[in-house]
A and B are shown apart, each in its own frame.
Chain A
Amino acid sequence: MEVGLNHYLALAAILFSLGLFAVVTKKNAVTVLMGVELILNAANINFVAFARFIDTDLDGQIIAVFVIVTAAAAAAVALAIVLNLYERLKSINLDEADSLAG
C-alpha cells in the first residue's frame, strides 16, 4: 500500500499516545520528561508531514525547528528543576513532591 499522509499521522498519533501514557503513569520525573519529548516529537512529525503533503512549502518545517528549539529550552529548565528537587528531597518521585514549602 502506498504510504501517504494518513500513515504518518497514524504514526504520530501512536507516538503521542505512548508519550501521554508515560507522562500520566510514571512516578520518576526524568521518565515523565522523556514522555514529554515523545509527545513533542509526535507533534513535529505532524508539522513536517503537513508541510510535505498539504502545504508543499517549508513553513511547516520552520515551525518544526522552532518546536525543537523550544523543547530544548524547556528540557534545560525542567531538568534544572528536577535536580533542585533532588537536592531538597533526595528523591525525584513526583508523588513525593507535593509540598510547595520546599
Chain B
Amino acid sequence: MDFTNIAFYIFAALTVGSAGVMVFHRNVVYSAVGLLFAFFGVAGIYVLLAADFIAIVQILIYVGGILILLLFGVMLSQKLTKVDVRTESMQLVPAVVVVGGVLAVLLLTISSTPWKLAGSLEYEPTTKAIGRLMMTEYLIPFEIASVLLLAALIGAAYIARKN
C-alpha cells in the first residue's frame, strides 16, 4: 500500500466526515465549518487525481469566496443567539428512504459498469495546458462564461439592493 492510497483514505474520510457534520449538525455555523473541511478534503482528492490547478481553484473559489459569502449570509439573516441559529429538518423518514435508494443505485451502477480504463494521467503541472486549451479549444465557453458572470453580477447586485 503506497502513500497515495493512504492519502486517499485520509482525505476521503475527512471529506465524508465533515460533510456529515455539515448535514447533521443543528447549528448553521457548525455546518459551515463542516463544509470548510469538506472543501479542503475535496481539494486533497483533486491533488491525488493529478489536478493541481483545480485543487487551488477549489480552495480559492469555494473556501475564499462561496463559504465567506455563505457565512456573511448566516450572519446577516439570523439572530445569532444559540437557539435561533439552528436549522430544522423536515420529512426525515422519506428523505432517508429516497437518498438511501439513490446511493444504492449509484454504488451498484459504479461497481457493475465495466469502465474502459486508459492508463492514468501523469502527475505534471496542468496550469499552462489549461490556459492554452482555454484560449484555443474552449474559447467559446470561456467568453460565454464572462457574459454569465456579468449577468450574475448585475442580477445579484440588483436583487440584493432592492429592499
Contact = CB atoms under 8 A, between A and B. Distances in A.
B89 A25 contact: yes
Interface residues of A, number: 74
A76 B153 contact: yes
A37 to B, nearest CB: 6
Contacts of B53: 61, 65
Interface residues of B, number: 84
Given A28-B87, A41-B38, A64 B51 contact: yes
A54 B8 contact: no
A79 B69 contact: yes
Interface string B83-111: 00001111110011011101100110011
Given A61-B53, A80-B160, A7 B152 contact: no
Nearest to B43: A41
Interface string B132-144: 0110001001000
Contacts of A73: 148-149, 151-152
A26 to B, nearest CB: 6
A69 B153 CA distance: 13
Interface in A61-102: 61-62, 64-66, 68-77, 79-84, 86-88, 92-93, 95
Q: In terms of DSSP, what is the predominant structure of the interface of chain A?
A: helix
Contacts of B141: 66
Give the one of B19, B45, B70, B156 with max A CB within 10 A: B19
B106 A17 contact: yes
Contacts of B111: 6
B38 A38 contact: yes
**Top 4 A-B residue pairs of the complex, sorted by shortest distance between their CB atoms:** A73-B152, A28-B87, A13-B106, A17-B103
18 contacts: A5-B117, A16-B103, A24-B99, A26-B90, A27-B87, A30-B70, A31-B28, A38-B22, A41-B38, A41-B62, A51-B121, A54-B116, A61-B130, A62-B133, A65-B54, A71-B61, A76-B69, A84-B162
Given A10-B110, A65-B54, A76-B69, 14 more contacts: A2-B5, A5-B117, A19-B19, A22-B22, A27-B87, A38-B35, A48-B54, A61-B126, A62-B133, A62-B138, A71-B61, A72-B61, A73-B149, A92-B77
